[in-house]
Every structure is written in C-alpha cells, then in structure tokens.
Structure 1
Amino acid sequence: MTLLGLGTYRSRDVVTSATIAAAAGCPLIDTAPAYGKGTHQAALAPVLKEHPRVRIATKIGHMTTGQARAALTGGVLTEAEAATRHSIAPAYVRHQVGMSRAELRRPVLDLVYLHNPDHHNGDRQGLHARIREAFTPLEEARAEGMLLGYGVATWSGFRDGAFTVPELARLAEEAAGDPCTGLAAVQLPVSMVEIDPIRQALAGKGPIPAARGAGWEVWGSAPLHGGDLPARINDPLADYIATGTDPARAALLVAASTPGLTGVLLSTTNTNHWRQAAETVTGQRLSPLRLKDICGLLQPVP
C-alpha cells in the first residue's frame, strides 16, 4: 500500500495542514529549514508534540538569508557559502542537525535529507566528494542518537545523472567505513509531468526500484506538480485513467500506482481534500499493465 505523507513546501498554513494530516493518521510530515521563509519547523513543533508517533523528515541544504547570516556569524559557513544560501559542508550539516532538533523540539529526527546536493553541480567527482563528506557527520549524528536515518531529496539529480542509487550507497559506505549505513531514503518528483521515474519503475529500472532493492524508502514529491497539474488534465483523460474520477484524483492515482514507491507527499488545508487524497493514495492502485498503457499516452509536459 502506498502511503500519503504531508509535504509542507507550498503550505500557506502549515499548522492547519499538519493538524489535519496528523489527526487523520498521516505517517510522516516532510519539511525543511527554509520552508515558509524559515518559519515552518518551529510552527510544526506543537503539532508534533501532540502527535508523537508522526515521523518527521527534514533537510539540509537550502537556507534563508537569516539562516545563512546566523551560520556565517557562528563561523559555520564561509562568506562564499553563505552567499549561495545552500550548503552541505560538514560543519553546516552538524549545525543544521542541531538547529532542526531544537526548532522541531524532537531530540531524535526520523529522517534527514541532503536537500538538492546537486545544487552546485560542477563535476561529478567533486559532487560525489561533497556528498561523501556530508554523509560523514550524518553518520556521526546517527551514532550519537540524534537521527534515525538520512537520505537524499533531489528534484533533478537522478534525472540529470548527477548520481545513481548505487553511487549514493557506495558514498555512504565510504563515509561510514562500514557496509551497514544510515542511508535510508530518497525523495524525487513523481507525477504525470515528471513521468520518467514511473516509466523506468515499470521496466524495473531507474532510482525507484534500485532504492527499494537497497531497502530504502522512496517518497514521491509534487504528485500534482505544485498544484497546477489538475488544471492540465481534461475530463476525458481523467475518466480514461479511472472511470468517474476527477483530474486531481486521477493525477494522484497515477503517481501512487508507481511500483516500489513508499508514499507520496501532498499538502492541503481542507479536511475533505485530505480524506479524498488519502482514499485515492491508499486505495486500490492501477495495475502495472494499466499504468504502462496510460504512460504510453503521455509525453512529458514542458
């Protein structure tokens, strides 16, 4: 069964969204220090306190201007790093793990992603060295009981060939000095727009089956492509996907039916919308043959 998690990137009222999701049994809330212009993590803390069984996933990478300034003042970042407002440097990784634990009021974080580590792409060898170096303090934090696992959340890293699942696994092993690592999850966009991961998964290829084969969680982000996908699905296409469904649920059903996906991330401040989404995501999925047929009709939407 595919799970429905709360994604908070585009949430305009993160407290309402989280309260609705947690009360409905949402298993995971996904956030980041920079979300909500730097306010979401602290705002989520009271909701997480009321619902201690809800897992929390946060990230390290992107930062607000204020967060960059504070890290610079604290000697965690160089001026060049602070100017880019993105870093996975080891010192910043250690700093942000501590900050997230404090803001979320969770002494142990369930999952910490490197957030778009390919943001400063450059050469692959240099990128892989930076990822390995970032994995090292995450392994240390896991050993110290500050987090349970870590991963990589990327928009285009797998698509652009910046790294593969086997390469990430190797880098984690090198950082840990042990085949047993804390690398536990990846997050990537999966939708009728970002459809290549679905096509690849149906063929047993790409990052989703590779990550699942490694025993990791795989979370699909942006299943509605920032909320604009339903408006781009006409009624005949929605009905073709699932008779009698509407465009939003049709889009969710396609993403949620991806073989190997642990769950998808969605945000809403409407209780009925969350219930409908949960019923769609956790209900009966499209068969692989049917999903392949639907993918065959679609071309990536620019």
Structure 2
Amino acid sequence: MSGVLAAGTHRCDNVNAAVSAAVAAGVKWVDTAPNYARGMAEAPLRVVLDRHPTVGVSTKVGFVPVSDRRAAIRAGVLCGEQSRRGHCLSRPYIAWQVDLSHARLGRAPDLVFVHNPENGVSTRDEVLRSLTSAFEEMEAAADAGLIHGYGVATWTGLSSGLFTVSDLVSMAQRVGGWRHHFHALQTPVSLVHLGPVAETLSGSGPLHQARETGIRVFTSAPLGGGALLEMMTPELVRFIDPSATRAQAALRVVLSAPGVSHVLLSASTSAHWADALGAAAREPLPLEHLRRVVDVLGT
C-alpha cells in the first residue's frame, strides 16, 4: 500500500482500550489532540506509550478544551475572546499547551499539528500571519527538544485555497531554515472527499505537492466517522474490490492514493483492526482503477 494505518482517537470513548487494541494488532502510530475525548484523550495514552516506546505519537495545538480553559486563563496564556472561541494559536498558548501535552503523554511528541488554522479567519493573509507565528513557536519547541517535529492539520484550509502545501513549506523554510521541523499534513481523504485523490492522479494538489517535497500526509476520517459504511452498497464494494469487506473497500481507496503516508482510523476492537489491517496488507489499487473509482463517484 502507499499508506499505512494509524490509530486515531477522535471518536474513541475508551482511548486506552482502543489504542491498546490497535497497538496489539501491530499499529505503529497514534494520533490524538488535547480536545479529543472531552479533553481526556492524551493522559490515558501515557500507559500505552510507556509500554510501547517505539510507537509514534502526534498531538495538536489550537482548540482549547473546556477542561483546560480556566487553567490557561490563570496562566495568562488565554484571553476572554479566545476562550469564548475555544481556539487559540498565540505563541504563549501554544507553548503552554505543548508543555501540558508533553507532561500528559510522558514524552516529547513525535509531531504536533497546528489544528485547523482556518478556524475563525476569513482571509488568506490572516491565516498565513497566524501560521507564521505558530511555526515560529513550533521551531522554538523543536529546538528545545519538546517536540520532534510539527505539521498542520486542516479540514478546509487546503481545499478552500486559504493556503497550499507550497505556502507551508516556504513558510517553514523562512522561519526555520533548510533544517526546519515542518514534516507533516493532516487532511480528510475518503470516498466522500475524493478531490485530493483526483488531483494527485493528475499530478497536482496537496497530496502530490507533499510527495514532491517529502512531507508526510496523515489522512483523517477515511470512513466518515462510520457513516460511509452505510453507503457502501454491495455493487460499490464489488466495483472497488470484489474480495473486500465494506470497510476494506473504502480504506483501500485512501490507502492506495499516491502521496498518502498514514491513514488515521478510530477503531475500538481487535476484530475491527484485523479487518482494517487486511486492507492495508494488500497491494495498492492500480492507478487506472483508482481513476475509474474517482470518475464514477466524482469529487
């Protein structure tokens, strides 16, 4: 496969149990965020990460969990307006959140994503200014050994044209030089978000640009939070891969997309992980077949 499966924690009710099942199945990367699981996603991971030190972990900065707001205000890193918005990318808040994530995870995160920088902004100039400031703080954190690298996790920033992969790489080079620590993107790719797949097959778009510049791409919501499984008719499954289950057919399309390095999946049981890893173990779908899938389903 072009990509490999990683454990996401966005929709996990029991983070420890879900991630333990993923790691037991052979998953080597876990993605989380301070605001996941009602603000309780990071701390339960420490036990799993302590037992499995070779498993990579990524977290995020940006959204302010309700459980952390009073502490952030008391620390002087969050003002009233930012608290009401529930999102903050100021340098003081990022530094505070990185320290907190480091303590909760029990180690320096391998990646910290700037989480949805498009939140609350309306212009390209505004989001690029915010990202420049965030990148400056991320480079400082990396230089101090608090994180190993950083990236940008976005839902609509790339698809809306607010910024491009080239923008982000150029910004990282300006801020951190040629040895910058900007290493990854996170963005939705699925059967209902096929635009990036169509673009990369034509040699354009974020997946292609990331591949050309050595940026890793973590795709989110490959099963649409489970909703996609209801859309996977027997005819669609047979069209993608007659030997696949519904989940495998949907995952195979994302796993096969050129430029994808990790596909984040929130699965809670060993059976679900066995099914998903069955898709990841197969050869990528041929590019011509991938093009037919995009043509039939549209973008």
Both structures adopt the same fold (TM-score exceeding 0.5):
yes
Segments of 5+ residues of structure 2 without an aligned counterpart are none
User: Secondary structure at the residue paired with 1:21?
Assistant: helix
Provide the residue aligned with 1:122 in structure 2.
122
Report the 3-state secondary structure (helix = DSSP H, G, I; strand = E; otherwise coil) of the residue aligned with 2:44: helix
Which TM-score applies when normalising by structure 1?
A: 0.96
Taking the TM superposition and a 5 Å limit, the aligned residue runs for 1:10-89 are 10-89=11-90
The one-character-per-residue Cα deviations of 1:215-240 (angstroms, maximum 9, x if unpaired) are 11111111001110010121011011
Deviation readout 1:147-179 (Å, 9 max, x if unpaired): 111000011111011100111112212222x13
Q: What is the 5 A alignment of 1:229-268?
A: 229-268=228-267
Number of residues paired by the alignment?
298
CA contact (8 A) 2:39 2:66 kept: no
Report how far residue 25 of structure 1 moved: 2.1
Q: Post-superposition shift, 1:184?
A: 0.1
Shift of residue 285, structure 1, vs aligned partner = 1.4
Contact 2:124 2:162 in 1 (8 A): yes
State the distance in 2 between where 1:64 and 1:175 align: 28
Q: Is the 8 A contact 2:251 2:279 kept in 1?
A: yes
Q: CA deviation at 1:53?
A: 0.5
| Highest RCO, 1 vs 2 (Cα 8 Å, sep ≥ 6) | 2
Q: Is this contact kept in 1: 2:73–2:79, CA < 8 A?
A: yes
Greater shift, 117-126 or 33-42, is seen at 117-126
- Shift in Å at residue 191 of structure 1? 0.3
Say whether the 8 Å CA contact 1:4–1:282 is kept in structure 2.
Answer: no
2:160 alignment counterpart:
160
For residues 115-171 of structure 1, the C-alpha deviation after alignment (integer angstroms, 9 at most, x for no partner) is: 001112222112101100011111011111111110000111110111001111122
C-alpha deviation, 1:205, in angstroms: 0.8
CA deviation string 1:50-92 (max 9, x = no partner): 1111000000011222212211111001111111110111111
Hey, what's the Cα distance between the residues in 1 that align with 2:80 and 2:281? 46
Whichever residue aligns with residue 126 of structure 2, its letter is G
Q: Structure 1, unaligned stretches of length 5 or more?
A: none
Whether 1:226 aligns to 2:225 is yes
Structure-2 residue corresponding to 1:283: 282
Amino acid corresponding to residue 248 of structure 1 in structure 2: A
1:163 and 1:282 mapped to 2: Cα distance? 34
CA contact (8 A) 1:133 1:175 kept: no
Deviations 1:4-43 (A, max 9, x none): 1001100111111110111222121000000001111011
One-letter identity of the residue aligned with 1:125: D
Residue 100 of structure 1: how far off its partner (Å): 0.2
Match of 1:145 in 2: 145
